[in-house]
Amino acid sequence: MTASPFTTRLDGPAPEVEVTRDMLRRGVWGAPVLIAICAAIWGGAGALSSAFAIALVMFNFALSAGIIAWASRISLVVLMGAVMFGYLLRLGIIFLAVFLVHEAGWVSLPALGTSIIVTHLGLLIWELRYVSMSLAYPGLKPTSNNSTQRNSDKSN
């Protein structure tokens, strides 16, 4: 009897959460650089807008990983629907957040837009160096500490 995609669920570790956590950690380190660049170009409003944009992007990535981890525990069909509609929901959240602050005095729209784009693309491109493209190690590439730990887990 074959498993149905309507009832098949994914058990085990959630590599999307591990990758997102790593990406957010790197974003915290890179954020001051982008905020400083925006401050130099657009002043105080640029710095505040950049910080808001970075927080918005990090929330977007965390929400994405959470949706995928939650839905994969239910079934593959729910996972596919959650990914598609979650993407639309997350785009809507970004639109709503920008719409609600676009006329505020502390907002620089060029800094806000640039920071949203640079943070999304920058974190994704930066994280490519650390993601494993192997089914043996889904998620992050194993380091010498991780592979030693995994080998000792297999022997037990």
Name the domain count of the chain: 1
pLDDT of amino acid 57: 94
* pLDDT (tens digit per residue) in 23-47: 888 889 889 999 999 999 999 999 9
Whether 43 is covered by a domain: the verdict is yes
Nearest to 136 by CA among 152, 149, 147: 147
Q: Which of 4-8, 33-37, 41-45, 52-56 has the lowest mean pLDDT?
A: 4-8
Whether 1 is covered by a domain: the verdict is no
Long-range pairs of 76-79 with CB within 8 A, sequence gap ≥ 24: 76/5, 76/6, 76/8, 76/9, 76/10, 77/5, 77/6, 79/10
Q: What confidence tier does 75 reach under pLDDT thresholds 50, 70, 90? A: confident
- Determine the structural domain holding residue 126 and report its residue range: 15-155
pLDDT of amino acid 3: 62
Whether 88 is covered by a domain: the verdict is yes
* pLDDT (tens digit per residue) in 130-139: 676 655 555 6
Whether 9 is covered by a domain: the verdict is no
Whether 6 is covered by a domain: the verdict is no
pLDDT of amino acid 6: 61
Mean pLDDT of 75-100: 91
Contact (CB, 8 A) for 41 and 111? yes
Whether 5 is covered by a domain: the verdict is no
